[in-house]
Structure 1
């Protein structure tokens, strides 16, 4: 399986419309990949709270349209990161869009754990409640977003629902980059699953981003890691390794507390 993680530089001087167009071109360039992954809230920036209300969009708004067309043109499964979704009620959500190679929106995921400690995202957005897994031709994907990475019970729930490859989109801050790498490896080891974690680069409202998108195998080995700037991280991996690992070292079967 070939996965491409597009680590986007969110430049505050670039308009949202310009970035949508640029990212769509980057997605089209990944024709031949089995899965393409984008970061969290890349249209506006994960820490650009003052822009959330202004840039919020309907589920099938301009980002949906641009990414659907790009997925179709490239013929790829596309985890399009997340957008600030405005529901009909007016509530905002941090929402992931997932497209099939025909460009159809097949699943969404609303971020469950909102960051901010009663400020920022935690105060401005509603919380999702549904764990989301998606069958892919090569594996079963489980979705998480940024701060979710700190909550192992979410990932165990995804694995219990059949997930073999855990996809994390993020706008993780550079000052906690060590946690980003450590937690990605921990989620892989404890769940005996692949972790594909795509972070953004650049700066969101003055908050430098960690970059260093990472792909980790079920033993916790780092298969590939990006640098700090914008780049496309492409890696080949064998999804059948998940079943082999779980069979040879059946730790998941020994759980007592559920």
Structure 2
């Protein structure tokens, strides 16, 4: 299974409309991949809190339409990162979108853990209520977003639901980049899953982004890592490696608490 992570630059000198078109073109360039991943809140910027309300979209809004077309054009499963979703009742959510190679919205995940400590996302957005997995032909995806990475309970729930590949789009700040790489590897090791952690590059709302997107195998080995700038990582994954790792080192069967 070939996976491509698009570490998209998010800067204030590019409009959401222009970035949407550029992201779609980058997705189309990934023909031949099976799964393509974009970062968290790339249309607006994860720290552009003052733009959340004005830039919110319904699930059939312009970003979803552009990503549906791009997924279909490239013939890929597309985890389109996340958008600020405006629900039918007016509530706002940080919502990840997964499109099939036919361009259908196959799954959505509303971020459960909202960052901000009583500011920003934590007070502006609603909280997701449930973990989400989705089966692809070669693997089962478990969906999480950015700050979720700090909460291992979510990933235990995803493993219990059958997840074999964890997809984590993010807008992680550079000042905590060491936490990003450490926690991504920890989630891979404890879950015995592949981890596809796709962050943003650039600077927006005065916050420099960490970049350093990662592809990590079920043993915790880093297969690919980006730098700070916009970059695309493409890695061939062996879906059978998850089952082999769990069989050769069956730590998950020794769980006692939380079952």
TM-score normalized by the length of structure 2: 0.99
Aligned twin of 2:246: 246
Aligned twin of 2:184: 184
Shift of 1:204: 2.2
Q: Work out the CA distance in 2 between the residues paired with 1:233 and 1:206.
A: 26
The answer to whether structure 1 residue 18 and structure 2 residue 30 are counterparts is: no
Aligned twin of 1:106: 106
Aligned twin of 2:31: 31
Aligned twin of 1:146: 146
The answer to whether structure 1 residue 5 and structure 2 residue 16 are counterparts is: no
SS for the counterpart of 1:183 is helix
SS for the counterpart of 2:242 is helix
SS for the counterpart of 2:227 is coil
Aligned twin of 2:175: 175
Gaps in structure 2 of 5+ consecutive residues:
none
Gaps in structure 1 of 5+ consecutive residues:
none
Q: Work out the CA distance in 2 between the residues paired with 1:240 and 1:133.
A: 18
The answer to whether structure 1 residue 51 and structure 2 residue 51 are counterparts is: yes
Aligned twin of 1:211: 211
Q: Work out the CA distance in 2 between the residues paired with 1:123 and 1:159.
A: 29
The answer to whether structure 1 residue 90 and structure 2 residue 96 are counterparts is: no
TM-score normalized by the length of structure 1: 0.99
> How many residues are paired up?
258
Q: How does 1:59-138 map to 2 (within 5 A)?
A: 59-138=59-138
Q: After superposition, what is the alpha-carbon deviation per residue over 1:177-199, rounded to whole angstroms, capped at 9, x for unaligned?
A: 00000000000000111100000
Q: Work out the CA distance in 2 between the residues paired with 1:200 and 1:61.
A: 22
Q: Work out the CA distance in 1 between the residues paired with 2:37 and 2:143.
A: 11
Q: Work out the CA distance in 2 between the residues paired with 1:185 and 1:97.
A: 24
Deviating above 4 A after TM superposition, structure 1's stretches of 4 or more consecutive aligned residues are none
SS for the counterpart of 2:155 is helix
Q: Work out the CA distance in 1 between the residues paired with 2:77 and 2:233.
A: 16
Shift of 1:239: 1.1
Shift of 1:88: 1.4
